[in-house]
């Protein structure tokens, strides 16, 4: 079993829909990252969080340390949100190394 | 700052050839990471440096792979000899070393070994 599991693997939504992507992990962590990878291939860090909730524009990330679970929400989704969203965790005693989930491929249709 | 710079952006080479990928981290960052991304395995950490010193290279697949960081502003990942199964996108990322800092990714090098 992978240490970081994401669901769903693929997601298709209509423009304007509220989207949730989930990430569960099985190890102790010091931080969790959400990354976005566009079709062109570049990887952008969206959030880094270790507790609670963060918001940036239409994106919201939450984490529940006790349940070892994080969610990434996109409100009022838009076709330009189409990308692969990757959850990554920094495990305890692992320095700055990240362990990655398999990614969620999101397509938002107009 | 220009962000993390990688070169080349694309590399096509024949099996058996030596390949060298280059990375310039963000100025002031003292952690540098090399990742490989394939369709089958997703993103994997190959090796990471702190203050130019390799800290963990357990992700390096085999002896054909080597990485160096001769100074704070430059790192190389070398594959010798290259094989078709090495075809992937190789990302370099950098961050500050202490604390849970974000990692900033370069644009990647798409390697194709024929």
Each residue's pLDDT, cut to its tens digit, for chain A (110 residues) gives: 578 999 999 999 999 999 999 999 998 888 999 999 988 778 998 999 989 999 999 999 999 999 999 999 999 999 999 999 999 998 876 666 788 999 999 999 99
User: Between A and B, how many CB-CB pairs are < 8 A?
Assistant: 56
Number of helical (H) and strand (E) elements in chain B, helices listed first: 0, 11
Task: For residue B81, say if its preceding peptide bond is cis, omega within 30 degrees of 0.
Answer: yes
Least CB–CB distance from A45: residue in B33, B102, B110: B102
In tens, the pLDDT along B96-108 reads 866 557 889 999 9
Per-residue pLDDT of chain B (114 residues; tens, 9 = 90+): 679 999 999 999 999 999 999 999 999 998 999 999 998 888 999 999 999 999 888 889 889 999 999 999 999 999 999 999 999 999 999 998 665 578 899 999 999 999
CA distance A43 to A64: 25
Least CB–CB distance from B91: residue in A33, A43, A50: A43
CA distance A87 to A19: 15
Query: What backbone phi and psi angles, to 5 degrees, belong to B37?
Result: -125, 125
| Contact check, Cβ <8 Å, A45/B104 | yes
Residues of B in contact with A48 (CB under 8 A): 100-102
Contact status of B100 with chain A (Cβ, < 8 Å): yes
């Amino acid at each position: 079993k992978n240490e970081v599991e994401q669901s769903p693997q693929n997601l298709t939504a209509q423009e304007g829909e509220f989207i949730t992507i989930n990430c569960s992990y099985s190890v102790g962590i010091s931080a969790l990252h959400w990354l976005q990878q566009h079709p062109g291939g570049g990887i952008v860090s969206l959030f880094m969080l270790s507790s609670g909730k963060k918001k940036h524009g239409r994106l919201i990330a939450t984490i529940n340390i006790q349940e070892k679970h994080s969610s990434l929400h996109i409100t009022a989704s838009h076709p330009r949100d189409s990308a692969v969203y990757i959850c990554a965790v920094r495990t305890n005693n692992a320095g700055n190394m990240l362990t990655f989930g398999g990614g969620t491929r999101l397509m938002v249709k107009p | 700052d220009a962000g993390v710079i990688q070169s080349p952006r694309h590399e096509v080479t024949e099996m058996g050839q030596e390949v060298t990928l280059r990375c310039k981290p963000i100025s002031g960052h003292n952690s540098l990471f090399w990742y490989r991304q394939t369709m089958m395995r997703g993103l994997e950490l190959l090796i990471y440096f702190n203050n130019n010193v390799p800290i963990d290279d357990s992700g390096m697949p085999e002896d054909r792979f080597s990485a160096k960081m001769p100074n704070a502003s430059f790192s190389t990942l070398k594959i010798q000899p290259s094989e078709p199964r090495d075809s992937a996108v190789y990302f370099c990322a950098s961050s500050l070393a202490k604390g849970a800092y974000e990692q900033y990714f370069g644009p990647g090098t798409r390697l194709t070994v024929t």
